[in-house]
Amino acid sequence: MILVGALLGGIGLFAVLVRRTLLGVFLGLQMMTFGASVVLIAAGVATGLPVPGHIYGLFVSIAGVAQLVAGYGLCVRLFYLRKSVDLEEVGGLKH
Amino acid sequence: MIVNYALSAAAVTSALAAALVTDMRKAVLGLWICGISVGGLFLSMGAEMAAIIQWILSTITAVTFVFYAVMFGEYRGKGQSRVFWVIPSAVAAGCFAWVVAVAFPERVVDFSVGDPAEAKSAGEVGFAIADGHFLSLSVLGIILLAALVSAGTVARPSGRTEKEEE
């Protein structure tokens, strides 16, 4: 089961690296949080400490929602400024 | 434990599809299926509270992704190469063959890390959070509030840009 979590995290990292838009990057980050939650809960169950594993997995899932909310705000701001959410436009914000 | 294998295969395959497709509709669908499958995995490991929260969060996340993709004009992809479908299809076929032909007798990898019959009740986890992790819960709530407020602050339109557009 931990292998499944590691695979999900790896696929999420791949999506973060490959995607060209901010929404795609946040989609990959969500998959990484899914993988982290699976790893934490599976590790808790496998080590005989299920409740702490459940709690840490819940915290990671909810923290993933928090980063998604902040990311949506950044997306809206970027779209307001550049009329696009392409990652190519992010580098231009310093000008 | 065939359910564990099936849910694992569904989660990995849908995540791979979500990572590779350019059409945002299919990517969000893949993310939602991945989240639902991960919730099923939680339930199969006895984490019923985490499973319920995972299902709720996955659905809300998928809906908000659709909303924002529509608003940003990225709901429809710019055309998807058929080559990209080969990889998820091959992984899905491999996972299916693994589940049906190889892994079903549970001789490859032992996935039986949890037993739903020994599930910790949601109330027990809730009391554990409230008793032993109250500070962490408070910090998490403050982080969520700060993220909401800061997102609203960052996303608000500024007067300077409006004047520039005029």
- Mutation pick from A40, A41, A47, A85 vs chain B, by most beta carbons of B within 10 Å, is A41
Give the pLDDT confidence score for residue B108 in this predicted structure: 45
The DSSP 8-state label assigned to residue A86 in this structure reads B
Q: pLDDT band at residue A33, thresholds of 50, 70 and 90?
A: very high
Tens of pLDDT along B96-105?
Answer: 666 666 555 5
Q: Compare B95 and A22 and report the one with higher pLDDT.
A: A22
Residues in contact with B67: Cβ distance below 8 Å, sequence separation at least 6, in sequence order: none
Distance CA A23, CA B23 (A): 12
Instruction: Give the residue on B whose Cα is nearest the Cα of A21.
Output: B74
pLDDT recorded at residue A47: 84
Question: Count of CB atoms within 10 A of residue A51's CB?
Answer: 17
> Would you state the pLDDT for residue B118?
56
Residues 11..70 of A with a Cβ closer than 8 Å to B: which? 11-12, 14-15, 18-19, 21, 23-24, 26-28, 30-31, 34, 37-38, 41-42, 45-46, 50-55, 57-59, 61-70
pLDDT tens digits along B44-53: 888 888 888 8
Residue A79 vs residue B158, higher pLDDT: A79
ipTM score: 0.87
- CB contacts, 8 Å: A51 with chain B: 120, 124-125, 128
B10-39: average pLDDT? 87
Q: Does the pLDDT at position B138 exceed 50?
A: yes
Paired residues of A21 in beta bridges: A86
Our CA dihedral for B20, B21, B22, B25, rounded to 10 degrees, sits at: -140
pLDDT at B140: 85
Q: What is the mean pLDDT of residues B137-147?
A: 87
Q: Which residue has the higher pLDDT, A48 or B108?
A: A48
